[in-house]
């Protein structure tokens, strides 16, 4: 490893040692078996999670999901008619039910979260912080061909804050590079030297670049554990675009130290620092809807929670003993190294008896969002493959049912798109079929009364309204809570800008939904036809759009939307109007992508106090790279 570092040049480092890493203190990290498990059974009814009302929370969500889904499916059966329904009509009902259950569950989680926030649930779970530390934590940032200035500006700000906290002895910083571009690697090493020099005697900063990127990010973290894990009690895992305040970092370390059963505690990152309309919309959505959703998830998951891959603190020995990831059998994209490793690591920690849970009340955790729909789609393609790959992990022995639920929701978050498309196609086929044949009101010549057509248009409109209520309920509950919360209300610019932002976000999301449907359906097709997504760094360029590339990427969406509009108008004007939100979004794909990718549109929205977030209202004026650059000078 040091040979690789030497090829990049040491750089000026003053009195610093030549090595940019501490002495090795390895932990063994064995590969885990998914096909067998001889440990104790996952958590029972006597575990603390159920004493903290997790069981009641799960019952509430399951009841809401069951009642709402049952009501929707019953209405759908009433729409198509139950007496003489065809196989195609029953197929339509089945597709509706499969799609509807997930939005019903989202509504259940939002109701639970709203109640938890209004009732001021104690998220400490009975764990009292001592206000002091005796543990050692490594703050690790895996990077891969990233913008060096951005990464090290955020690191410099975090290091300065930790140094000023008076608790710097308890924390070391590690930059874990998997960078393949040698010029970027040289810049990383030079920036590491400068940051080390700047923080010399105050906070330890280390840098390591791997020669081989085995296992991608999961392999990068495992390499750290196998080399230096023995030096630390905990590790705080960041992404290249993460920033956490010193208060958040120290609170997470104190919470982990105070809870000996905790294997992982997940914070809830907020999206910040992007300026395009698309990014500002995402930042507003997570900032406004996020508290209700995350509160509901925290209640539902209890201590069998999930890991989002970053901005979470992990007990190193627990991770080393239970999270060695196996290489899945078969070829890519379903075989090979596990891509979405975080869900699997959480499941393996829970399987081994460790608690994994969220602390949504810990503020000061941040990340960036992709600036454009195209950048979002590039990341989403990788996530789609990682989530579908979990189908091979789902049957693993010894997993808690809640972790299997996490896998299923991840899979369904992408499978829902082709299901929705199939639902639309079947619905159009049924309408076309109905337009070809005149109904026979007296199929029996001896009947005294006519047999009326079974499709009930009035009930269809009722079902549409009910579906809209279920779909919008989480957002309405979240906005209601934001209006009740002074900090959130003022952070959004006031009550009127908050409501206007909600309306505009809902409108834009409705237009983007069919575009994402086609994109994700395409992802599923590519994965099923064995096309690997590869591993590319996330775009950090805010608002750079190539119009020719947009035309090339999204022309199909426009043509598909025009074809749907023409076909539905030919079949029935009512069907044309019914599906207007779908085909209109597709027809307008190119202008929507260009508009939402614009920094000018984002700037106008900000001036109109649309899509504001509290972080902006606190005067974050100098930022060019995440929250950390607001107050810190670039490293070196």
What pLDDT was estimated at residue 379?
Answer: 92
pLDDT over 50 (residue 4): no
Q: Which of the residue ranges 474-478, 545-549, 623-627 has the most confident prediction, judged by mean pLDDT?
A: 474-478
Distance CA 382, CA 143 (A): 17
Q: Report the C-alpha gap between 250 and 162 in whole angstroms.
A: 8
Short-list 433, 426, 415, 476, CA closest to 579: 426
Q: Predicted confidence band at 77 (pLDDT cuts at 50, 70, 90)?
A: confident
Residues 6+ apart with CB under 8 A from 479: 288, 289, 498, 499, 502
End-to-end CA distance of the chain: 25
Structure confidence at residue 630 (pLDDT)? 39
10, pLDDT greater than 80: no
CA dist 315 and 611 (Å) reads 37
Residue 570 CB partners (closer than 8 Å, separation 6+): none
Total length of the chain: 636
pLDDT grade for 67, boundaries at 50, 70 and 90: very high
**DSSP structural state of residue 485:** -
Structural element, H or E, at residue 49:
helix 48-51
Contact status, residue 264 vs residue 315, Cβ threshold 8 Å? yes
pLDDT by residue (tens digit) across 431-449? 887 777 655 544 555 544 4
Over residues 215-235, mean pLDDT: 95
Is the pLDDT at 239 greater than 90? The verdict is: yes
How would you classify residue 374: left for phi > 0, otherwise alpha for psi between -120 and 50, otherwise beta?
Answer: alpha
How many CB atoms neighbour CB 344 within 10 A? Answer: 27
Looking at the DSSP assignment, which residues form a beta bridge with residue 365? 244
> 343: burial class by Cβ within 10 Å (0-12, 13-18, 19+)?
buried
Q: Assess whether pLDDT exceeds 70 at residue 40.
A: no
Inform me whether the pLDDT recorded for 133 exceeds 80: yes
- 28, 350, 510, 555, 579 from 422: Cα distances, Å: 48, 36, 18, 21, 14
pLDDT at 633 over 50: no
Q: What is the pLDDT of residue 279?
A: 95
| 138 three-state secondary structure | strand
Give the CA angle between residues 225, 306, 407 to the nearest 5°. Answer: 110
Whose tokens are 């791997």? That residue is 210
Question: Which whole number is the average pLDDT over 79-100?
Answer: 82
Contact 289, 390 (CB under 8 A): no
Dump pLDDT digits (tens) for 200-213. 999 999 999 998 88
pLDDT exceeds cutoff 70 at 33 = yes
443 class by beta-carbon count within 10 Å (0-12 exposed, 13-18 middle, 19+ buried): exposed
* pLDDT at 321 > cutoff 80: yes
The pLDDT of residue 50 is above 80: no
304 touches 350 (CB < 8 A) = yes
User: What's the chain's average pLDDT?
Assistant: 87
For residue range 455-512, what is the model confidence (pLDDT) as tens digits?
556 777 788 889 999 999 999 999 999 999 999 999 999 999 999 999 999 999 999 9
pLDDT number for residue 41: 55
- What is the pLDDT at residue 462? 84
The pLDDT value recorded for residue 444 is 54
pLDDT tens readout for residues 155-203: 999 999 999 999 999 999 999 999 999 999 999 999 999 999 999 999 9
Determine the pLDDT at residue 463. 85
Structure tokens that stand for 184 in this block: 């970027």
Count of CB atoms within 10 A of residue 148's CB? 22
pLDDT at position 437, please? 63
Please compute the mean of the pLDDT values over residues 276-302 and round it to a whole number.
95
pLDDT at position 49: 46
pLDDT of residue 18: 45
- Would you list the DSSP string of 145-157? S--HHHHHHHHHH
Q: What is the pTM assigned to this prediction?
A: 0.89
User: How large is the average pLDDT for residues 306-327?
Assistant: 97
Q: According to the model, what pLDDT value does residue 351 have?
A: 96
- Examine the pLDDT at 534 and tell me if it is beyond 90: no
Cβ contacts of 32 within 8 Å, gap of 6 or more: 322, 323, 324, 325, 326, 348
pLDDT of res. 635? 35
Percent of the chain whose pLDDT exceeds 90 = 73
pLDDT attached to residue 530? 82
pLDDT, average across residues 597-604: 94
Element (H, E) at 4: helix 2-7
Distance CA 410, CA 407 (A): 5
Is the pLDDT confidence value at 85 over 80?
no
* Residue 634: pLDDT band with limits 50, 70, 90: very low
Say if residue 542's pLDDT is above 90. no
Instruction: Using pLDDT thresholds of 50, 70 and 90, give the confidence band for residue 603.
Output: very high
pLDDT value at 548 more than 50:
yes
Confidence of residue 543 (pLDDT cuts 50, 70, 90): low
> What is each CA distance from 231 to 172, 178, 221, 224, in whole angstroms?
10, 22, 15, 11
Q: At what angle do helices 495-528 and 457-484 cross, to 10 degrees?
A: 120
In the chain, the largest separation of any two C-alpha atoms, in whole Å, equals: 104
């Amino acid at each position: 490893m040091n040979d690789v570092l030497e090829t990049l040049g040491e750089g000026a480092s003053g009195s610093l040692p030549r090595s940019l890493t501490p002495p090795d203190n390895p932990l063994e990290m064995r590969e885990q078996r998914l096909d067998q498990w001889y440990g104790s059974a996952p958590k029972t009814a006597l575990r603390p999670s159920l004493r903290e009302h997790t069981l009641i929370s799960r019952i509430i969500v399951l009841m809401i999901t069951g009642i709402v889904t049952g009501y929707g499916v019953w209405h759908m059966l009433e729409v198509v008619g139950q007496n003489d329904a065809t196989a195609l009509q029953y197929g339509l009902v089945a597709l509706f039910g499969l799609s509807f259950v997930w939005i019903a569950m989202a509504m259940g989680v939002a109701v639970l979260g709203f109640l938890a926030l209004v009732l001021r649930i104690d998220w400490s779970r009975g764990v009292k912080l001592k206000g002091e530390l005796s543990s050692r934590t490594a703050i690790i940032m895996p990077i891969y061909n990233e913008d060096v200035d951005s990464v090290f500006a955020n690191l410099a700000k975090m290091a300065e804050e930790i140094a000023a906290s008076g608790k710097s002895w308890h924390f070391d910083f590690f930059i874990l590079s998997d960078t393949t571009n040698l010029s970027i690697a040289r810049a990383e090493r030079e920036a590491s030297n400068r940051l080390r020099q700047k923080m010399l005697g105050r906070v330890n900063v280390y840098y390591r670049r791997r020669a081989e990127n085995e296992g991608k990010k999961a392999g990068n973290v495992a390499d750290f554990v196998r080399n230096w894990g023995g030096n630390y009690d905990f590790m705080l895992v960041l992404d290249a675009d993460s920033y956490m305040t010193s208060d958040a970092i120290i609170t997470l370390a104190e919470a982990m130290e105070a809870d000996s059963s905790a294997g992982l505690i997940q914070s809830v990152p907020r999206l910040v620092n992007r300026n395009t309309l698309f990014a500002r919309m995402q930042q507003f959505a997570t900032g406004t809807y996020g508290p209700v959703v995350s509160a509901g998830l925290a209640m539902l998951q209890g201590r069998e929670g999930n890991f989002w891959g970053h901005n979470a603190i992990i007990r190193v020995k627990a991770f080393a003993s239970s999270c060695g990831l196996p290489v899945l059998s078969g070829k890519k994209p379903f075989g090979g190294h596990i891509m979405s490793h975080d869900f699997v690591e959480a499941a393996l920690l829970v399987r081994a008896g460790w608690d994994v849970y969220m602390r949504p009340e810990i503020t000061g955790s941040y990340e960036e969002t992709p600036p454009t729909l195209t950048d979002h789609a590039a990341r989403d393609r990788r996530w789609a493959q990682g989530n579908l790959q979990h189908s091979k992990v789902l049957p693993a022995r010894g997993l808690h049912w809640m972790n299997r639920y996490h896998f299923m929701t991840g899979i369904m978050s992408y499978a829902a798109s082709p299901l929705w498309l199939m639902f639309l196609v079947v619905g159009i086929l049924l309408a076309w079929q109905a337009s070809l044949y005149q109904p026979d009101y007296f199929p029996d010549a001896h009947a005294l009364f006519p047999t009326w057509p079974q499709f009930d248009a009035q009930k269809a409109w009722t079902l549409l309204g009910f579906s809209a209520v279920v779909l919008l309920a989480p957002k309405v509950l979240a906005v209601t809570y934001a209006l009740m919360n002074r900090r959130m209300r003022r952070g959004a610019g006031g009550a009127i800008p908050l409501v206007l932002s909600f309306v505009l976000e809902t409108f834009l999301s409705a237009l983007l939904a069919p575009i994402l449907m086609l994109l994700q359906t395409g992802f599923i097709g590519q994965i099923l036809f064995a096309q690997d997504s590869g591993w590319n760094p996330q775009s950090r360029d805010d608002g750079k759009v190539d119009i020719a590339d947009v035309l090339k990427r999204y022309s199909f969406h426009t043509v598909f939307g025009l074809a749907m509009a023409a076909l539905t108008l030919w079949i029935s004007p009512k069907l044309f109007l019914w599906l207007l939100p779908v085909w209109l979004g597709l027809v307008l794909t190119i202008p929507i992508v260009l508009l939402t990718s614009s920094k000018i549109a984002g700037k106008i929205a900000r001036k109109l106090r649309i899509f504001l977030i509290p972080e902006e209202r606190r005067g974050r004026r100098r930022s060019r790279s995440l929250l950390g650059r607001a107050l810190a000078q670039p490293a070196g």
